[in-house]
Each structure stands twice: as structure tokens, then as C-alpha cells.
Structure 1
């Protein structure tokens, strides 16, 4: 799917000014193309939007919810600073509000988009339907990717943190990944649990063994 077309469709649904938001879209494309990004790049954006599209029919109740999930995908890693990683989600949410609010995006949609972006800091979502559940699962689709793509993802994340010593990286990365296996389910929507859960648990277990 063409990312620019999906952006325009989402903006129209939330009654934003498509033409006025072209510079915002172009700024986001520039951000997603920054050279320091290994995994968190345009390919990741495309994968999140594609995964959300897979879940749309089963887990979203309206075009408005779809638009909110799409806009959250575009903004959720817009600020990506490895040296200050704990603040990226808040800053990305702030960017979304500042960029969208002057261009006619309705307040309820804007609030949902910024909440979705901030939720990506912890991936702690309880809903099983709606934009929160779909965005959560789409952002984590990569955990269930085919083995070669998952391994590429792991290597790309390591490249982003190339300055971190091996032992420290292994400890920190394990602390991020292991809790997903401790949950009853990695995913929240019924479709993702059915289609992605087994592969995600296999991939996560394999990567945690490597990190050990």
C-alpha cells in the first residue's frame, strides 16, 4: 500500500486539511529516513500500517478508528533519539499534537492519536478491539515476522545501539523482550492472537537464547 495515499485518506477521515498537512507528512518522511535509524525506519512504518490493515476488519469499528491508528503509526517513532530513548514517545506525541492541531483535525481524534503514540512506550494495552489494540498489535507485528525478517530486525536494533557494550546490550534487550513471554498473550486482538502469537513466541524465545 502506498504510504502517502494512506496518510491522505486518514487525514480526510479526521477532517484535516490534506493540502495543508503535506509539509507535515514530508517532515515525517524525512524523520523516518534519518541515517541513524536501523530498524525504526520507513520499512517499519510500512509494516505497522500493513499489519494494522490486516486487523482492521475484525477489530476496528469505524473509519475514524482506522484513521487514528494510521496517524499514530506515522507519528509513533517520529522522534527517535537512541541517546535519550526514554523520552522518544512523549516527544513524538507532542509533535503529533503540535503538527495536527492547527490543521482542522478534530479534538477527539487528536487526543486518541497522542494517547496511542505515548502508549508505545510500554506496550501495556488491555483493550482487545479498537485503535489502541490494533496499534499495539501492529507495532509488535515484527515479533511474529518470518524468521529471516525477525533476525534482520534484531540485527538492525543492535546496529542502532552499536555504541553499547555487548553485555550491557544483552541485559537491556532481554529486559525489554522477556516480559512479552510472561504475558498470557503477546497480542491483544483475536486475529493477531490467532495468526501471529505462536510465531512471536518462537522468535522471542530464540532471540532471548541468543542474548544469553
Structure 2
């Protein structure tokens, strides 16, 4: 991962993310290493990825939302800095017309984190968590996976207006897909999610978001079926 030169960006919609990234990297390193690289250029690289023009939902706003939801679920995590790093990387590579986004995002983490002075075990765990977002199906003994997946899916539990905006942004990312094909594919995704015994695996996530998310998913599916 080649850092991009740092420039001041007065239009940054989430300037606090830079400090959050620096704090997370410091915590993940575990010990002070004066020779470790400055985390700031890596934040610039990642944020530039999250701002790519093909994104409509998987944007800096989504990254920030996932990190805030992780804050809400922090007590459930075993290794909070690892979960936070996984959030930064989980959609760092994103092309709507590709199927290997999670794998490429995990590979990016595997390159970048050792450069930043983060140990091999934590790097491997970050990559594992990123790959887990393919299925959002963590094992019962995987609290960090549960936190990341719950935080990523929390958007499903928005208000009706928030959920409508989310659904519209997803459609915009797939604007190149004809309506009949998108409707069929999206309906299949919604049906698969609704078939899960529970969408949210952490106790807090389940209590906060399960009922509303299922209602939103059912409503969207009904609307698509009536289209």
C-alpha cells in the first residue's frame, strides 16, 4: 500500500476520522516504536479509496457509521482495535461489478498493516474479519466477528427515510444493472437475509436493531415484488 501525499482538505465531511485512525493504529501497535511510519498518509490513502466516484453507499459516511456502531458494541469485542481496523479496510477496495472486493480489501490490509508496525497475528485477524463480511455469518465463539458484522448491517435498522435513502444508494451503485436483473438479485439478497435465524449476533445489536431491520427488509422486498 503506497501512501499518498498528505494535503489539507477543508471539505472533508468527517475530519475526526483521521484522529480516530491514528488512535486505532497506536492502540493496535501495542508498544511505542519511534521508527514506525506515520499513520496519517495511510489514512489519506484509505479515505481517498472510500471517496471513489463509483461509490454511492460504500462511502466515507458508511465507514464512519460502521465505526460509530462499533463504539456502541465495544463491550462485546475481545480486541477492539482489531475490529476498528477491519472496519477501515472492509470495503477499502470496492467495485460494484466485481465479486472479489472483500478478498482484495483483506489483501490490502495484509500489505499495509505490517508496514505500519502492526504484528502478524493482529494483521491476520484483521484480514480474517474483512473476509467475514462476505457472508456476515460469524461463528458463535467469534465476538469480534459478531461486532463487525452487526455494525456493518446496522444500516438495515434505520428509520423509513434512512432506509429508503440506503436502498436508493445501493441501486445507484448498481445503475449499470437493468431493472429486471437488479430486482431479481436484490430480492434474492433480501430473502436470504430474512431467512437467517437472527441478523444481529451481539445481544445489544439484536435488542437495538433486529425488529426494525426485519421490518425494513420485508417492506423493501414487498415493494420489489410489486414493481
Match of 1:134 in 2: 147
* CA drift at 1:210: 1.4
**Over aligned residues, Cα RMSD in angstroms?**
1.6
Q: For residue 195 of structure 2, what is the aligned residue in structure 1? A: 182
Report what 1:42 is aligned to. Answer: 60
Once the 2 structures are TM-superposed, how far is the Cα of residue 102 of structure 1 from its aligned partner?
1.9
Higher helix share: 1
Paired with 1:131 and 1:8, the residues of 2 have a C-alpha distance of 20
Is this contact kept in 2: 1:128–1:188, CA < 8 A? no
Query: Any unmatched runs of 5+ in structure 1?
Result: none
Residues paired across the two proteins, number: 207
**Alignment partner of 1:14: what SS?**
helix
1:4 correspondence with 2:18:
yes
Normalising by the residue count of structure 2, what TM-score does the alignment of the two structures yield? Answer: 0.87
Cα distance in 1, alignment partners of residues 66 and 137 from structure 2? 17
Aligned partners of 2:199 and 2:118: how far apart in 1? 32
| Unpaired segments ≥5 residues, structure 2 | 1-13
Task: Tell me the SS of whatever aligns to 1:143.
Answer: helix
Q: Partners of 1:185 and 1:21 in 2: how far apart?
A: 37
Q: Is the 8 A contact 1:6 1:70 kept in 2?
A: no
Q: Which runs of 4+ in 1 moved over 6 A?
A: none
Q: Deviations over 1:5-26 (max 9, x none)?
A: 2211111111177753322211
- CA deviations on 1:152-201 (whole Å, 9 max, x unpaired) are 00000100111111110011111222111111111110001111100000
Q: Once the two structures are superposed, what CA deviation does each residue of 1:79-137 show, in whole Å capped at 9, x if it has no partner?
A: 111121x1000000000111111221011211110001111111121236621110010
Alpha-carbon distance in 1 for matches of 2:37, 2:158: 35
Written as runs of structure 1 = structure 2, the 5 A alignment for 1:81-120 is 81-84=95-98, 86-120=99-133
Please tell me whether residue 54 in structure 1 is matched to residue 72 in structure 2.
Answer: yes
CA deviation map 1:32-51 (0-9, x unaligned): 00111000000100110000
2:37–2:117 contact (8 Å) kept in structure 1: no
